[in-house]
Amino acid sequence: MNLAYAYPKSRFEPATLVDLNSRAERERLSQSALKGFFRLAAAWNLRDEDARELLGGLSSSAFYDWKKNPDRLLEVDRITRISYLLGIYKSLHILYGDKLADEWVQLTNTNPIFAGRTPLAFMLGGGLLAMQSVRRLLDARRGGL
């Protein structure tokens, strides 16, 4: 092997990806994901209708049942949605003080991706891809971009 083309040694170890198609992994994550989501919804002062929409369009009866009893198995889509939202929550609390971090999603934003809307309205209208965009925007800001 020609050593001139070999990659240098690194101590970087990539994180092992969670296989959300595995029922066992979803069982492990579902309850804590829902508990985290309901805490986030309270911190952001979300209306129940908005919280239900962020979860992917959940009915009222199912939403209140999930709130009362979060011990259930979530689908891949719902765990992914909650993961993005919790990542957004974490990034906001790293970037801003607690008060602004919790208010940020409901404040009109001048960033072009929001088109003069609030980040919450953007995510409600754009679903999973909008949540991913907000998460990436905040991660970029955390990285200094």
pLDDT in tens, 109-127: 999 999 999 999 999 999 9
Nearest-5° angle of CA 90, CA 93, CA 94?
90
Task: Work out the mean pLDDT of the chain and round it to a whole number.
Answer: 93
Nearest-5° angle of CA 122, CA 126, CA 127?
115
Residue where the block lists tokens 């939403």: 63
pLDDT tens per residue across span 53-102: 999 999 999 999 999 999 999 999 999 999 999 999 999 999 999 999 99
pLDDT above 70: residue 12: yes
Q: Which residues contact 124 (CB under 8 A, 6 or more apart)?
A: 50, 53, 54, 130
Q: Give the C-alpha separation, 60 to 30, whole Å.
A: 19
Q: Which residues contact 73 (CB under 8 A, 6 or more apart)?
A: 23, 26, 27, 30
- Which is more confidently placed, 140 or 1? 140
